[in-house]
Structure 1
Amino acid sequence: MAIELTPLPLPPSAEPSKFETFGREVKGINPGNCTIEQLEEIKQALYRHEVLFFHNVVLTPEQQLKLTKAFDPDSEIYGHGGKLGSEKSSILHSALQAIPRVPQVQLIGNGMLYNHEGLAETRLKHLTHKTFHKTVVSTEDEQKGFTRFYRWHIDAALYDLSPPRVTTLYAVRVPEGPNQICRYDDGTGDELDVPLATTAFISGQTMFQLLPPELKSVAVRAEVKYAPHPYVWMAPARAKSTGLGIVSEGLETPLDQLPPWAEDKIKTHPMLWRNPVTNMLSLQVHPCGAIELIVSPIPSGAAREGALYPDGARITDLEEVRDLLDRMQRPAIAPNLVYPHKWSNNDLILFHNRGVLHTVVGTLQPNQMRVYHQCNLAASDDPTGPSNEDISQWA
């Protein structure tokens, strides 16, 4: 039996023309118990639509791991490895709790949880912008329902391990409450009405397509070098009000004060990643972890007029790195380009981690329970970048 795909219900804020292929709800199938043929259809659909949504399904952690692993059979370990508990200075330390019998599946959320999947008692901490942004929404405005994006990102260790192909996110318990208003607070006046504690997604493909020619040229020629142990490195620093990158104040952990690291484990990835099914290019950069940009020269015979970095460049000044990335990424998080999912209990989302950026959003009170199971696996390969033909076309 073939799977049924229907477009995701878009919020009034979304521009439908930008979501024609983005996101599908999958009906008539149990993702935890599907046939080989159905699984292949799911894989193809995910790469074509970037986000797949299953409403009201029952999924055990074992089934979730099996589903996630189907996209990369050679993958074995959680996307951030198994050392989060020992890296207490990492900004991820308090946000993730492994399920003991299936450690590749992590608990995330908010509130005190008892007798859950082998854990007698654990406190989940909702990620709030107040612990990470340089500026914050005032308590008065927060009480009026204003909030922010937390941190736009790709699920990836960005050191030693390769970025997961897919993330699965299963809602066990969703908090109830009115929508909130996500403020960008960057001088644009941009705001977005969002469901409480939503997960917001944007398309890396759209991010690339929005760029003017001179920035498309940079993107197709550029590589991004990430800091060693980036989540420890960035922990003392503070993020921009949009959640899209770090404010440059020199607060990052000095490299010689990080946990032991090796040069050959540092990750450098193309700025553009190729979709394995559609061959489309997505601009996939985790802006908070980037430490350097390497731009290749304009190809021989290509037009140089108006080009940025025509002779190539190695950009090591952090402020310049971040300013350029913000210039390239900020247009794609405009309110009309964001999909903020409205969760219900037992919803499952699969997203192509190499084709979207995402963030948690919202402010919760301590007694508002939010319980999710998250799974992604460090990939058996690195993302594929632009081809020679792509470089000829866009450079």
Structure 2
Amino acid sequence: MAIELAPLPLPASADQSKFADFGREVKGVDPGSLSPEQLEDVKQALYQHSVLLFRGVNVTPEAQYALTKAFDPQSESYGHGNNKTESTKKSILHPDLKTIPRVPQVQLIGNGVVYDHEGLAEAKLKHPSHTTFHKTQVSPEDEANGVTRFYRWHIDAALYDLNPPKVTTLYGITVPKGSPQVVRYDDGTGEELPVPLGTTAFVSGKTMFDILPQELKSVAVRAKVKYAPHPYVWMAPARALPTGLGIESDGLELPSDELPEWEVERVKVFPVVWKNPVTGELHFEVHPCGAQELLVEPLPQGAKREGALFPDGAHLTNLKEVRELLYKMQRPGIAPPLVYPHDWLENDLVLFHNRGVLHTVVGAFKPDQVRAFHQCNLAASDEPLGPTPEDVQKWA
């Protein structure tokens, strides 16, 4: 039996024209017991539509791990390394993750205290909030009235030593109810976005690339980003912009000699845009918080030089300059009409193409609002593909 696909329920804020191919609900099949043919259909659908939703399904940690691994059978460890992130107490990710003991590739995330859960006698969970990561925060009065922010726009990736996962799976087990909130961008634009409480927000990397003006498309297809060693430790003392799209350049990052031991050959350098293995489309995929340098190739022979940025190539090492250029390129892609804020129900399973979207935690919960999710992604067996020479010739 072939899988059945239906469009995702988009919010009124969404630009329908930009979501024609984005997101599908998969109906009539159990994600834990897909036939080989159905699994292949799910794989194709994920790469074509970026986000897949299964509603009202029961998924064990073993089944979630197996489904995630099916996208990359050679992968094995959790995307940040089994238990490594949690044990690195200086890492900004340390408070957010609890490992399921018998399936260490699956993490328990959420809010509040969870008891007797999959081998964990007691797990104290904390929903990441902008109040601990942004340089500025909304006022207590505004927060009480439901105003919030995006936490951190990112791709799931260690960004050091390990390759970015191909897919992430999120399974909602306990989903607290509450009033909707309003995301305020607080960047001078006046932009806001109504969101369900505790949504996970997604944007398309393809759209982020597609809407760039030609001169920035040219930079994107010619550029690679070099990430900091142990970037989540490196960035931990720093604070983020109010949009959650990158870090303020206040010089607070840890110096390299204060980081855990690292090796130059394990530092990651990835293309700015990644090529979809099924559609061939280009997706803008940069984790702006971890970016440290940009390397831009010269224009290819025959390309128009008039109006081009960095026609002879460039190596940008000034952190403020790197961040400002990336922000200029990525900020249009998180505008309210381009954001899909998922409205979670219990027993929702969401798969997303981690090499095709950016996503973020949103909002804040009170301590007594218990939320429990299982997350799984696996460090990939290969690096993401960048643009082909033909792509560079076309867009440069």
Say yes or no: TM over 0.5: yes
**CA–CA distance in structure 1, aligned partners of residues 300 and 126 of structure 2:** 49
Deviation at 1:15?
0.5
Instruction: Report the residue type matching 2:215 in the other structure.
Output: E
How many Å separate the matches in 1 of 2:86 and 2:199? 26
Total equivalences in the alignment: 395
Is 1:67 equivalent to 2:67 in the alignment?
Answer: yes
Over 2 Å off, 4+ runs: none
Q: Name the SS for the 2:44 alignment partner.
A: helix
Q: Give the aligned residue type for 1:61.
A: P
1:1-395 equivalent positions in 2, closer than 5 A: 1-82=1-82, 83-395=84-396
Q: Deviation string for 1:25-73 (max 9, x for gaps)? A: 0000000011011000000000000000000100000000000000000
Q: Within 2, Cα distance between the matches of 1:379 and 1:85?
A: 20
Please give the per-residue CA displacement for 1:153-195, whole angstroms capped at 9, x wherever unaligned. 0000000000000000000011110100000000000000000
Q: Secondary structure of the equivalent of 2:106?
A: strand
Deviation of 1:301 after TM superposition, in Å, equals: 1.4
Please report the TM-score for the alignment, with normalisation by the length of structure 2. Answer: 0.99
| Letter paired with 1:66 | A
TM-score (norm 1): 1.00
Looking at structure 1, the residues matched to 126 and 347 of structure 2 have their Cα atoms a distance apart, in angstroms, of 20
The structural deviation recorded for 1:86 is: 2.3
Deviation, 1:327, is 0.2
Distance 2:86 2:219 in 1: 38
Quote the offset at 1:300 in angstroms: 1.4
Three-state SS of the structure 2 residue aligned to 1:17 is helix
**1:363 deviation in Å?**
1.2
Residue 85 of structure 1, CA deviation? 2.7
Deviations 1:364-388 (A, max 9, x none): 1000111100000000000000001
The letter of the residue matching 2:183 is C
Structure 2 stretches of 5 or more lacking a match? none
User: Percent identical across equivalent pairs?
Assistant: 69
Determine the C-alpha separation between the residues in 1 that align with 2:56 and 2:181: 24
Q: Which amino acid aligns with 1:14?
A: A
Show CA shifts across 1:117-173 (max 9, x none): 000001001100000000001101000110000000000000000000000000001
Give me the CA root mean square deviation.
Answer: 0.4
The aligned amino acid for 1:58 is N
- Alignment partners' CA distance in 2, 1:221 and 1:258: 30
Residues 86 and 93 in structure 2, CA contact (< 8 A), matched pair in contact too: no
Shift of 1:232: 0.1
SS state at 2:279 partner: coil
Deviations along 1:189-222, whole A, 9 cap, x unmatched?
A: 0000000000000000000001000000000000
Runs of 5+ unmatched residues, structure 1: none
> Residues 265-311 of structure 1, C-alpha deviation per residue, up to 9 Å, x if partnerless?
00000001000000000000000000000000011111100000001
Q: SS at the partner of 2:34?
A: coil
